[in-house]
Homo-oligomer: A and B are copies of this chain.
Amino acid sequence: MVLSIKSGNIASVKMTFNKPNKTTNIKKIRFMKAEKILNISVDCVVFGYDVNTKSLNVLLINRFLESKGEVLVDDYVLTGYHVYTHETLDETATRVLKELTGLTNQYKKQFKAFGNPDRLTNEKDLLWIKNEEFNTRTITIAYYFLLKTEDVSLNNGNDKATWFPVNDLPILGFDHNTIIQEAYEDLKEKCLSEPIIFKLLPDKFTINDVQDLYESILGIEIDNRNFRRKLINKKYIIALDEKQVGVSKRPAQLYMFSLDIYNKMFQKNYLISI
């Protein structure tokens, strides 16, 4: 959306941002008695994996602010919004994702709160905040989502959302580079011990797809023969009666992941590995 606003110290302002537009928002507030908590927000690191380009991406939105023909701010930030008084933190995160992508029921994890007093105090952030209704001393609860890049259509028009490879991010507004970095660290760790890798892959995948994804996330090389054996032996990795189509070499066997079987088989092992 593009808005013309008069507010703060800046006389005439054009700005774009990922949030419900003012009119809709006011209606919503009157109807649901929703009130934003002005110093508490949720920011979402949306990880999307592109199985074709083998790229782990983060969804960012353009933060654009112009006054009297001068571009004041033009960079990228995470998607996020204030917590409403009536909702849980999880609900805020779910709402934010839905408003940006239309998606619900994606894997989501609250991984850390960021609350340094100086987290919103660089020059561009201050310019931006002047035109927003929020507090400089805002604490944000950060979540990350895991989904498939292909599930998100970026043709919604209004939101200037763009995928960036997680290893090739621009300098972001606020403390959002830090937030992504910490989300990524958490993802690296968690994908080793929980089957969340499959949240990033299509329902039908090849063993090599899984390996490529692990290599993308972890930045390492894995021996294909050992990896293949390991995965195939898992009861919850199920070979389908299907093979790849449209490939110009020997087509690979397709598999699926069964969360049901995983959960039934799962038993905490207390292996101490320090």
Contact = CB atoms under 8 A, between A and B. Distances in A.
Interface of A: 37, 39-40, 83, 85-89, 110, 112-117, 137, 139, 141, 191-195, 197, 214, 218, 220, 222, 227, 230, 234, 270-274
B137 A139 contact: no
The 10 closest A-B pairs by CB, nearest first: A89-B115, A113-B113, A195-B274, A113-B141, A88-B116, A218-B270, A220-B270, A85-B137, A192-B272, A40-B139
Nearest to A272: B192
Among A139, A218, A230, A274, max chain B CB count under 10 A is at A274
Contacts of A197: 274
A117 B272 contact: no
Nearest to A221: B270
A119 to B, nearest CB: 9
Nearest to A85: B137
B110 A112 contact: yes
This protein's copies in its complex: 2
Among A141, A194, A222, A227, max chain B CB count under 10 A is at A141
11 contacts: A37-B137, A39-B39, A88-B115, A89-B115, A113-B113, A115-B141, A139-B139, A192-B273, A193-B274, A218-B270, A222-B270
B194 A274 contact: yes
Nearest to A218: B270
A117 B87 contact: yes
A112 B111 CA distance: 7
B192 A270 contact: yes
Among A40, A191, A197, A271, max chain B CB count under 10 A is at A40
Contacts of A270: 192, 218, 220, 222
A95 to B, nearest CB: 14
A214 B272 CA distance: 9
